[in-house]
Amino acid sequence: MSKEVLKGSAMLNPVPVVLVTSKNKDNKVNVFTVGWIGTAATRPPMITVAIRKERLSYDYIKSTGEFVVNLPSKDMTKIVDFCGVRSGRDVDKIEKFNLELSPSEKISVPIIDACPIALECKVKSIIPLGSHDLFLAEILSVHVDKALIDAKGKIHYEKANLINYCHGEYYPMNQKSIGKFGFSVQKKKKTKK
């Protein structure tokens, strides 16, 4: 396989694309799109979100220390895109799209009802990086659409129709698994004769 060498670039793709809700001290709620997000730890459950300082949500999150990561479904792609290119300083995106909100359990920022999964987050630290600051936050509570949980308690993310972002374009999550964690070393089951 022949490869071209390019200059250093933020080229980790695909990434999940999410809608982040935040609230300022005057209880004004905003939503914006984030593609630079990731898991940082499992105990305690921690997440990282990279946010530009000029974003309105940057100010909201920095002042309150709270936000919700809402995982949107494929049918919300136009909303996701709009919330990524329009500022809450210019348009109330929640009102524009009639997004219904519900209260969180452990923080004051609401979740977006239309999103099948929502993570309530509390900021633990902010690391200045350059074009973005990295917000490290603990996930305090998770809301999951009951239709995604089977009788054994397994969450079926593939049924949520989640979307990914890849180098400027949105893609649906594949509905069919190509393997599971540990399958490459799993012992084959013996068949009875």
* Cβ-proximal residues to 49 (8 Å cutoff; 6+ apart), any chain: 20, 34, 36, 37, 67, 69, 121, 134, 135, 137
Give the pair of three-digit tokens for residue 145.
Answer: 């659409």
Fold of 15-172: Pnp Oxidase; Chain A (2.30.110)
Domain residues of the chain, as ranges?
A: 15-172
Show pLDDT as tens, one digit a residue, over the chain (193 residues).
999 888 888 888 899 999 999 999 999 999 999 999 999 999 999 999 999 999 999 999 999 999 999 999 999 999 999 999 999 999 999 999 999 999 999 999 999 999 999 999 999 999 999 999 999 999 999 999 999 999 999 999 999 999 999 989 999 988 888 888 888 888 887 777 6
Q: What is the DSSP letter of 145?
A: -
Residue of 68, 82, 74 lying closest to 37 (CA atoms): 68
Q: What is the value of pTM for the model shown? A: 0.92
Q: What SS3 state is found at 124?
A: strand
Q: So what's the pLDDT on residue 113?
A: 98
In whole angstroms, give the CA distance from residue 147 to residue 131.
Answer: 39
Indicate if the alpha-carbon torsion angle 63, 43, 19, 11 is positive or negative.
Answer: positive
Q: So what's the pLDDT on residue 178?
A: 82
CA distances, 86 to each of 55, 58, 72, 134 (Å): 10, 14, 17, 21
Q: What SS3 state is found at 55?
A: coil
Amino acid in the structure at residue 136: L
In whole angstroms, give the CA distance from residue 91 to residue 99.
Answer: 14
In whole angstroms, give the CA distance from residue 95 to residue 191.
Answer: 59
